[in-house]
Amino acid sequence: MSRPHVAALVEDRWNQALGGVLERAGWRPRAVGYDGYGGTDFLRVLGRVVRDRPSGRGERGNNARRGWRNFVTAEVAGADVRVTVAGRVFHTTSDRAGTVDVRLPNPGLPPGWHTVGICVAGEEPATADVLVVGDDVDFGIVSDIDDTVITTWLPRLLLATYNTFVLAEEARTPVEGMADLYAALLEGRPGAPTVYVSTGPWNAARALSRFLAHHDFPRGPLLLTDWGPTNTGWFRSGPEHKLACLRALAEDFPTVRWVLVGDDGQRDPVIYSEFARERPERVRAIAIRELSMGQQVLAHGTPVEKLDGSTAHGRPEVRGPDGEALAAELLGVV
């Protein structure tokens, strides 16, 4: 589009005005690093640039912050960001939502987790971690988050609001058996990546990472999105975001065949089926957590018709209400 959507223009004006007020109050831009990934020839570094209060008691220093505090941020668009990898310095710019998503050459970092520097020019440095996946790895997990690893009951508006804006992440409830399922899938597969793909906002990234670690889920990059308007409309498309992430992972890791894990409360079965039809050689199996009829009614108003995905895309597909039920079938086909 030659001209941004009016919603994006309104949001940009608001962010500029808010940024001016906070800057005059002494708030300074700072970088926040998130977990990224890479291969032997590239690194994908993820982060955001936000304004931090003068006391420095921002996101970085409060690991027990309540959910709503994760959403009280002022993003900085167009910030000059410096990324340092093994002594080499690269420059990039935050996008209109303050997000940093940059692909860099890998200067020789071997497979495993590595720490890189990320900072706004002239401000205090921060760090971001990157998982380098080896060329010989042929197995990986892509996992949804809401109602796949975390019980959210998102369509129940009041409870969803409470869970998101009030409840600390440590008090949220994991889906039973899912952490054990992922551990079983990764057993004997050193270096296999787990990537969490969700339509949740980047504001929640650190809270989600703490939740996953607290409940023994494997560590992995989170590919989230930004709430709010885009250059083409009022809201972002969740299915398009997930499908774009899957396509990017297929290109980035051509030897990996993924186990795709989601739930049937939203669009995961359709998204995964579409990707499996496009790139069947990149999909090892699909696992769908089935919500109860009550949960389906809350999500859609009526129970959702459950399609037989195994005949729609030709890849193994299993379904069950929790991790234990999924493991009983999935471990036998991967």
Q: How far apart are CA 18 and CA 295, in angstroms?
A: 39
pTM for the model stands at: 0.83
Q: Mean pLDDT over residues 241-268, rounded? A: 95
Full strand arrangement of the beta sheet holding 99-105: 88-93, 80-85, 112-120, 126-132, 28-38, 42-52, 99-105
Q: Which one has a higher pLDDT value, 85 or 63?
A: 85
pLDDT reported for residue 146: 86
Nearest in space to 27 (alpha carbons), one of 55, 5, 4, 66: 55
For residue 72, pLDDT over 80 is answered with no
**What beta strand segments (E) does 134-256 contain?**
139-143, 150-151, 173-174, 194-201, 222-225
- 128-150 pLDDT, tens per residue? 999 999 999 999 999 999 889 98
Residue 52: pLDDT band by 50, 70, 90 thresholds?
confident
The pLDDT, as a whole number, for residue 304 is: 54
- Judge whether 77 and 99 are in contact, CB under 8 Å: no
All domains in the chain, ordered by first residue: 6-132 (2.60.40), 139-330 (3.40.50.1000)
Q: Which of 2-6, 96-100, 236-240, 281-285 has the lowest mean pLDDT?
A: 2-6
pLDDT tens per residue, range 78-102: 999 999 999 999 999 999 889 999 9
Per-residue pLDDT, averaged over 141-166, amounts to 69
Buried b (16+ CB within 10 A) or exposed e, 102-114: bebebeebebeeb
